[in-house]
Structure formats: C-alpha cells, structure tokens
Homo-oligomer: A and B are copies of this chain.
Amino acid sequence: MARTKDLTVAERIRSKFAILTRAERQLANTMLESYPVSGLGSITTVAEASDVSTPTVVRMAKKLGFGGFPELQAALRAELEATISNPITKHDRWTEGAPDTHILNRFADAVTENLRQTLRLLDPEDFNAIAALLADRQRSVHVVGGRITRSLADYFFTHMQVIRDGMTLIPSSAGTWPHYVLNMRSGDVLVAFDIRRYEHDILRLAEMARTRGAILVVFTDQWGSPAAQDAAHCIRCRIEVPSAWDSSVVTLFIVEAMIAAVETATWDQTRDRMRTLEELFDETKMFRKFV
C-alpha cells in the first residue's frame, strides 16, 4: 500500500506535471536537467538556477507531496545514495522503468547510432555549401518530397518560408510538376528528398530541373537515391531502426541543422521577417499568449 512514498522525485514530477504552473514547470525542467544534483543546493540556489522565486520552489515541493523543500532534498539524497551504492543496476538505460528491450530503449540506441554514423559520413564542406546556396536570396528554392518524405519537405519549406522569400513547395502529385519546372530559372536550387523506395518521378523531375539549369540538392539514405547521381550536393542519412520502416529522425535532424545554419547566415533579414510575422500573428489572434 506504499503510495507516493517509494516514488523517486523524478517520477513524482512526472506524475504531477499536469497540475504544475508555468514557473513550477520551469523549475521542474531545470531540476531534471542534471538530476538529481541540481536539486541539492540551497533553496536559493535551486530557485536562481531556474529563474524562479524561492516560494515557487516551496510550493512545488508541497505539490509533489513533501512537507517542504528540505524533505524533497532528503529524498533526492536518499535516491542518490541508493543508486550510487548499487552500481550494477545503474547501467545506462534511456527510459527508467522500462526494460532494455522496450521499444523506446531500442529505438533510442538505433537513432543515436544512426546520428553518429551520419555525421561521420557527412562532409561539413558540403553542408556549408548547401547552406550558402540556400542563404542566397538571388536564387529561388524549390522543395519536393516523395510519399513518406513529403512531410519532411513540408517541414523544411514551412521554416524556410519564414527565413526568406522565393520558396516553393512542389506538391506531391507528379501530374503538375512540369508547371513548376517551368518556373525554375538557371541558378535556382531544387531540394529533393528521396528515400528508398526511390520514386521514378523524383528522378525524372530532377533531370528536368537540371536541364533548366537548376542546382540539385538531394537528401537521401545511406544507399543513395539514383537522383543523387546528378546532384551537386547530396546528404546521406542513416535510417535503419528496429521497425518495418525507415526512420526519418536523422534526416529531420540534418534538415533542422541546415535551417539553423541558413538562419544564422542571414540573421539580419531573418530577424526582420520574424518580427513582421509576429505582428501578423498578433493581429489574427491565432495563438495564445505564451503562458
């Protein structure tokens, strides 16, 4: 019948997170950040580290079921002692409370390994060159994806659209693609996502684009899309995971890093565009003010 008694502080935070307020969540997050050491200082230290006031710390401790902050801290120390004196149980597991064989843990292993391999294989010069192309406002950028990678193309497009103008998202229906090729000028960039099984149509689009003088950038998997043959730049991502499908996590990672690189390169203009965007959002009242 032991109830909250034998839960770790982390677990208590997890289970009570729903009823925590904004400042309390902020605190909870930093406490979990370098858990559990971050919670072992004085209440003042802990509060300052999360940019909240000391009353907030006390209030959260009580919400988690402790009498006060010192009680919470004692629990942390007890946990720490238990883990340290028990080095065998503590081998690295991503998700505590789930077995090693749980899909979350197996997936986490696979994805980090994919990330490592991908970055090992990636030429930073290539990456920089692509970023430079995308940052060049003289060039229009056209984005296309396949059956699965459409979502990635979409994500990339949405962000890039904030950063710069001259972005086009080519829809997934191949029928209208010639219309889009029509608008490509020499020096334009075509970013194509093509993961196995590689699509005939993407290859054909790439060829069409090249004859119009477009520069081809391909995001593909470790085996390489046939379209990559003609590509000026090609990013190969590892995509294997314990599943019948391939993983897009690493590809998304590279996409985001690329967006960040372009954003940095053109920060002055990007900042202005973002401000304007904020104002437009405010007018539409589409979003809640940040809580």
Contacts and interface: CB of A to CB of B under 8 A. Distances in A.
A119 B95 contact: yes
Interface string A34-61: 1101101100000000000000000000
Interface residues of A, number: 100
Interface stretch (A134-142, A176-184, A206-214, A222-230): A222-230
Contact of A103 (B97, B234, B260): B260
A205 interface: no
A contact face: mostly helix, strand, loop, or mixed: helix
A119 to B, nearest CB: 4
Given A33-B117, A35-B120, A37-B80, A243 B226 contact: no
Contacts of A104: 119, 122, 124, 127, 257
B121 A224 contact: no
B242 A247 contact: no
Nearest to A122: B95
A175 interface: no
Contact of A224 (B25, B112, B117, B203): B25
A17 B127 CA distance: 16
Contact of A108 (B95, B115, B123, B243): B115
Given A152-B151, A154-B151, A222-B25, A77 B37 contact: yes
Contact of A236 (B10, B17, B111, B245): B17
A267 B143 CA distance: 34
Contacts of A226: 288, 291
Interface of A: 10, 13-15, 17-18, 22, 25-26, 29, 32-35, 37-38, 40-41, 74, 77, 80-81, 84-85, 87-88, 92, 94-98, 102-104, 107-108, 111-112, 115-117, 119-125, 127, 147-148, 150-152, 154-155, 158-159, 196-201, 203, 222-224, 226, 228-229, 234, 236, 241-245, 247-249, 252-253, 256-257, 259-261, 263-264, 270, 274, 281, 285-288, 290-291
